[in-house]
Amino acid sequence: MLEQAPAARARNFQEVACGYRLEDALREAERCLLCPDRPCVAGCPVGIDIPGFIEKVGRKDLRGAYDILTDTNLLPAVCGRVCPQENQCEGVCTVGESLESVAIGRLERFVGDTAIREGWANIPYIEPNRYRVGIVGSGPAGMACAADMAKAGCDVTVYEAFHVPGGVLRYGIPDFRLPNEVIDAEIDNLKKFGVKFECNTLVGRLFTIEQMIGEMGYDAVFVGVGAGYPTGLGIPGDSLNGVLSANELLTRCNLMRAKEFPNFDTPIPLGRRVAVVGAGNTAMDAMRVCLRLGAEKVYCIYRRSRKEAPARLEEVHHAEEEGIEFNWLTNPVAVLDDGSGGVRGLRCVRMVLGEPDDSGRRRPVPIGGSEFDFECDIVVYAIGTNANPIMGQTSKLKLNKWGYIDTDDDLATSVAGVFAGGDIVTGAATVIEAMGAGRKAASSMKAYLGLRDPNLPYLVDADAGDRPFGIDRRERNFVRVRMAET
């Protein structure tokens, strides 16, 4: 796939990966063996019929490919960009056993982008069932749940605390990985399903979950508010000006458009030398944002080695290409004060990997006497988040010992009619996992409301070909209503 050259892209917010042209997509689609065991489908958190859509791409039937994708995935243009495919579908691809795996994500993005460009939307025929469903949070979990419930005929309202919908897709993931137009297009699709969005609404404080299922008359509620609440390191100098969370940096830059300050009012701390602590996707985004904002030097500080870094390989690779200096096996011990409340540098210690810990990863241990200082003026923490406390403060939802919402296997919470999924249940994870949780919760909500789940018979009859029970798949599945055939 074409990419912007590292030197050029590190100074702009345009998308890094330019996407496939038709001929690239056709060539890549041809590489799929259409193998019978379809490991990729099982590897996908939402179970996309991957060989099915790739086959359609190979036959230049992009609309058909889009139909298959939207059977199970609401946001192909988003997921094609941000899913960690190497750990999912592409990680188990049969071709990948001997050659490079089929680039499933890129093909998915190609189809999703084509749909946006062509204005395709698979608006199903929806029979209203008069159930009202409230969704708290408009991020990937909420959007996926909203789509499924709207397709099932429910009257769906999504509440968002920010002034624009999209959740982490909007405030967290930078434009060069996921352009705003893509999010807008996917949200517009949801609106076409009849989903209503109410922004500027802080559920819990403006009204509670209990009020939603009580006086406000919602028959079921899904809570997908995300994790939030970034953690600090708890080292000296933590609270100096110039130390901030990746969430804050990214929100200022992406959502509030601080990169266009002062034409937009929100300021952003600009650093000449920036140290980002952590090596997850959020850390990579933060580093690359700082480069684009004009930092001369951006360092990554991570206490384990490259192998353990939780970020997608592609993201680490892109960051390396753009000139981020990686300091593996390095742990900060103090942020150094410049004497006027700002940051002068970071004191770190070198680490070595010891015995495996509970997570199975080798535990990093400090090397005695290896402390060193280096100069920087901004320190960004991208080391994870704790549970956001608002739901716990304002509702009777049972929480687990870490403060995340407690659910059963069906994602039902301790309050009847209330379901939850995504980061507020599992802790920080990926966009596609949140979407998977949103869809799973939708399935449970349908069972709770006594609605027929259009996905269930179709999964059971997967072998029955295109016309199980003599009914055309497309007529049961709320995908594109077929035109009359002669």
Partner 1 sequence: MSNFEIVKREDFSDVTYLLEVRHPLMARAARPGQFVIVMLNENGERIPLTIADFDRQAGTITLVVQAVGKTTREMQQACKTGTHLHALVGPMGVPSATTHAKKVVCVGGGLGVAPIYPQARALKENNAYVIGVLGFRNKDLVFWEQKFRAICDELIICTDDGSAGIKGLVTEGIKQAVARHSDIDEVVAIGPPIMMKGCADTTRPFGIRTMVSLNPLMVDGTGMCGGCRVKIGDEVKFACVDGPDFDGHRVDFDDLMRRLKRFTKEERLALEHWEKGCRLQKQIDAAAVSPGGGSE
Applying CB under 8 A, the residues found at the interface with partner 1 are 161-163, 171, 198-202, 205-207, 226, 228-230, 232, 234, 238-239, 241, 244-245, 247-248, 251-252, 256-257, 261-267, 269, 341, 388-390, 393
Minimum distance from residue 300 beta carbon to partner 1 (Å)? 20
Strands in 220-223's sheet, in edge-to-edge order, are 196-198, 155-159, 132-136, 220-223, 418-420
Minimum distance from residue 240 beta carbon to partner 1 (Å)? 8
Closest CB to partner 1 among 152 and 376? 376
Q: Look at phi and psi of residue 417 and say left if phi exceeds 0, alpha if psi is from -120 to 50, else beta.
A: left
Minimum distance from residue 440 beta carbon to partner 1 (Å)? 24
Question: Which residues are within 8 A (CB) of 299 and not within 5 positions of it... i.e. 6 or more apart?
Answer: 273, 274, 275, 276, 324, 325, 326, 327, 374, 376
Minimum distance from residue 139 beta carbon to partner 1 (Å)? 11
Minimum distance from residue 441 beta carbon to partner 1 (Å)? 21
Minimum distance from residue 235 beta carbon to partner 1 (Å)? 12
CB distance 148 to 444 below 8 Å: no
Q: What is the C-alpha to C-alpha distance for residues 364 and 139, in angstroms, rounded to an integer?
A: 34
E strand segments, 143-266: 155-159, 196-198, 220-223, 243-245
Closest CB to partner 1 among 107 and 378? 378
Q: Look at phi and psi of residue 232 and say left if phi exceeds 0, alpha if psi is from -120 to 50, else beta.
A: beta
Q: What is the C-alpha to C-alpha distance for residues 121 and 186, in angstroms, rounded to an integer?
A: 9
Closest CB to partner 1 among 74 and 274? 274
Closest CB to partner 1 among 5 and 206? 206
Closest CB to partner 1 among 41 and 143? 143
Minimum distance from residue 163 beta carbon to partner 1 (Å)? 4
Q: What letter does residue 470 receive in the DSSP assignment?
A: G
Minimum distance from residue 392 beta carbon to partner 1 (Å)? 10
CB distance 225 to 424 below 8 Å: yes
Q: What is the C-alpha to C-alpha distance for residues 369 and 130, in angstroms, rounded to an integer?
A: 68
Q: What is the C-alpha to C-alpha distance for residues 246 and 237, in angstroms, rounded to an integer?
A: 17
Closest CB to partner 1 among 226 and 438? 226
Q: Look at phi and psi of residue 441 and say left if phi exceeds 0, alpha if psi is from -120 to 50, else beta.
A: alpha
Closest CB to partner 1 among 87 and 231? 231
Minimum distance from residue 198 beta carbon to partner 1 (Å)? 5
Minimum distance from residue 382 beta carbon to partner 1 (Å)? 12
CB distance 191 to 405 below 8 Å: no
Question: Which residues are within 8 A (CB) of 486 and not within 5 positions of it... i.e. 6 or more apart?
Answer: none
Cα-Cα-Cα-Cα torsion 425, 427, 433, 437, nearest 10 degrees, comes to 0
Cα 62 from chain centroid?
Answer: 25
Closest CB to partner 1 among 21 and 205? 205
Closest CB to partner 1 among 354 and 389? 389
Closest CB to partner 1 among 29 and 183? 183
Which helix (H) or strand (E) segment holds residue 301: the answer is strand 297-301
Closest CB to partner 1 among 252 and 303? 252
Minimum distance from residue 238 beta carbon to partner 1 (Å)? 7
Question: Which residues are within 8 A (CB) of 211 and not within 5 positions of it... i.e. 6 or more apart?
Answer: none
Q: Helix H segments across 251-312?
A: 281-292
Cα–Cα nearest to 419, from 224, 150, 206 = 224
CB distance 474 to 68 below 8 Å: no
